[in-house]
Structure 1
């Protein structure tokens, strides 16, 4: 690796870190808030602007941070081979990881104060249609199945190779379990006492957060699946690489479509929130 390559890579890392720091500290702009509310068909009033601004600020903050980390990681990989390159997979993977962290941050319980209780219990099925609920688990199960196949077919492979296969499959499973825990917090998080508009926005943001979670798991677990597909020994190297690339593109598109497919039409009809004591 020559000095020029190292300087360019260092410059890319510094720029990425600076951009992430700037976005991490900046609140959501009013123009972005209006565009988001218009796109999601949400009422924008003085009361509803508070949760919407928080949602946009937190999501942009963590997505930008992890996107920059992905950019730095890709630059680091390039340095090992003496090149300066943009690793698209690392950048997109970082964005999805940041979105997952942002939803975890947003799922935290609200500060102490009055709450509303629903006469009907909240369930995941009230926010996500069946295909969206099944898609992340299906991708993870596919990754586990391919991992088992690779391990069985490569019994004589070095222990380091087999350990890497197990690590990739375990990573996909851990992403699913972490997202399931976050989804439970989102669904069961109490609502503050507020007017119908604010309650409708709260329900819409829960629904959107759950769709984003499903999309992130699909993309991240799909990355593991694509990686494992390239290791299947019964497929020629060129064919395995092509198959992995096709799987990767497909799951990333599915993840993006799932994350952006949340309808926002106010509160869940079956729920009638009632104030309860603090």
Structure 2
């Protein structure tokens, strides 16, 4: 019994320090200073700081946006002021007055609608007291159009320049199409004017006396014989000469073209 206790208990107590020594030898020694453990985290304080940081970021972003908008407005104001100062220094006042008068008296004349709008926009900067009001600017543009367009646009009372410009271009296109069709109809062959109704009477032919057996006998030409026309010098049927009709139509066309040329005369 005693031998068992010595074999089972005493050797066990002797081996325990040896195992501890071997474990200490196997554990690597820490290099450098040993840092203390981190303090415990107070999550309430952490969340409060996070909320404050987010609020600060939002305020900073709003302030930055307001600053950018203010800078944009300042740039616009500064540019307008620069333009005024530039004109005042480098463009004489009498030149500015002359350009303003040209704008006030500007009309379309022989220009197209788009050409007139480009000239209108170019000269409008010399009359800011008019172009600042969109309705006044639109009215000035419409009243400067040629009469054939102005009478069609005045009734609509457009309030913006874009609306008036679109309507004027549309009306101009319709008028050009009408004039092209009119010109094409005037270029048709003249043979269309020579066709006469076969049922119309031919020119009356005078009777001519023929001597037969010492006696005067009036002779009458056959109904098929036609008299030479005093207008065109040809023989044709019908009571109306084609040359007279063509001349009348040509005169009407010349009057129409003369009226258009008066409207399209360039502005002096």
- Answer yes or no: same fold by TM over 0.5: no
Larger radius of gyration: 2
Which of 1 and 2 has higher RCO (CA within 8 Å, sep 6+)? 1
Q: Which of the two has greater helix per residue?
A: 1
